[in-house]
Amino acid sequence: MKGVLRFEKKGKLSTCFVKPFEILERIGPVAYRLALQPSLCVVHDMFHVSMLRKYVTDPSHVVDYEPLVIDENLSYAEQSVEIMAKEVKMLRNRGIPLVKVLMAESQR
C-alpha cells in the first residue's frame, strides 16, 4: 500500500477520477501537463493519456454567481434575513458555535 497515492482523504485508496482539470500543454504523443489545485501540490502534474478521461459537459456543473461589490478597503456587506438554527458542536474540550443563516435573495 506504500505506492498508492491518496487524494485528499487520508486512509482511503486513491479515487479513480478526482475532478476535471484544465490541460495546459501536450508533452509528446502520450503525455499531458495538467493545471492541478494547490492541495495536490505533492502530485506530479504530468499524466499519461491512459490515466485521463474525456470530460462530458453537464449543465448542472455550471454555477451562476453575481459579482460582489467591493469597497476601497477590500470589504463587502452581507445582509442576513433570519437566523434559522443555532448549535454548539463539542470537540473534546472545545465548543464550536454553528449558526444557520437565511441570506437575502439578492445576496445568494
* CA distance linking residue 28 with residue 49, whole number of Å: 10
- pLDDT (0 to 100) of residue 1: 46
- pLDDT (0 to 100) of residue 50: 86
- pLDDT (0 to 100) of residue 4: 53
Domain count, the chain: 1
Domain limits for position 83: 74-107
Residue 97 lies in a domain: yes
Number of neighbouring beta carbons within 10 Å of residue 75: 7
Residue 15 lies in a domain: no
- pLDDT (0 to 100) of residue 5: 54
Mean pLDDT, 10 residues at a time, the chain of 108 residues: 52 60 90 86 84 80 72 76 86 88 64
DSSP letter, residue 42: T
Residue 69 lies in a domain: no
Residue 29 lies in a domain: no
- pLDDT (0 to 100) of residue 60: 76
Query: Got the DSSP string for 47-102?
Result: EEGGG--PPPP-GGG----------TTS-----EEEEEEEEEEEETTEEEEEEEEE
Residue 62 lies in a domain: no
Residue 57 lies in a domain: no
- pLDDT (0 to 100) of residue 13: 44
